[in-house]
Amino acid sequence: MKDEKCPCGSDKKYKECCGLVHQDMVYAKTAEDLMRARYTAFVLADGDFLIESFHADTKKPEMKEQLVAWAKSMEWIGLDILRTRQGQEGDEEGVVEFKAHFKEGRKIRVLQQRSKFVREFGSWRYHSEA
């Protein structure tokens, strides 16, 4: 996958985009960067990254198997970032509103959500729905 286009829709190669963040979350300079990396982790059913990218206040390692099973049960189609509030390099918190498009069985579905991200130990982490 590393030389393929990144699933997050950035038009970059995976290895130059979410692949970097999957190696080390310090590469997520903004909340949107982490949101894109989390979407790509769902596409790849990367449970380790999904759990690691949770903020300590909301992390539940026992959810890993459930997240992976859910991610694998979908055919991920694309990600649209609708808007962001804060979440830039100098911020400590941010909100990213997005639409994740996927196919479940024969039906096309859309998950629209506003996600809160908080810096923890210098890196962005997913906290909760906003």
What does each C-alpha distance from 72 to 19, 26, 100, 110, 124 come to in angstroms?
Answer: 19, 27, 15, 16, 25
- List pLDDT tens digits, range 63-117: 999 999 999 999 999 999 999 999 999 999 999 999 999 999 999 999 999 999 9
In a domain, 6, yes or no: no
Confidence (pTM): 0.96
Whether 25 has a pLDDT exceeding 80, the answer reads yes
Percentage of the chain modeled with pLDDT above 70: 99
In a domain, 55, yes or no: yes
In a domain, 3, yes or no: no
Inter-residue contact 22 to 41 (CB < 8 Å): yes
Q: Residue 114 has which token pair?
A: 């506003």
Q: What is the rounded distance in angstroms from the CA atom of residue 36 to the CA atom of residue 38?
A: 5
Query: What is the CATH number for 111?
Result: 3.10.450.50
Tell me how many domains the chain contains.
1
Give the range of the structural domain holding residue 64, as residue numbers without chain letter.
14-129
In a domain, 117, yes or no: yes
In a domain, 1, yes or no: no
In a domain, 8, yes or no: no
In a domain, 80, yes or no: yes
- What type of residue is 60? K
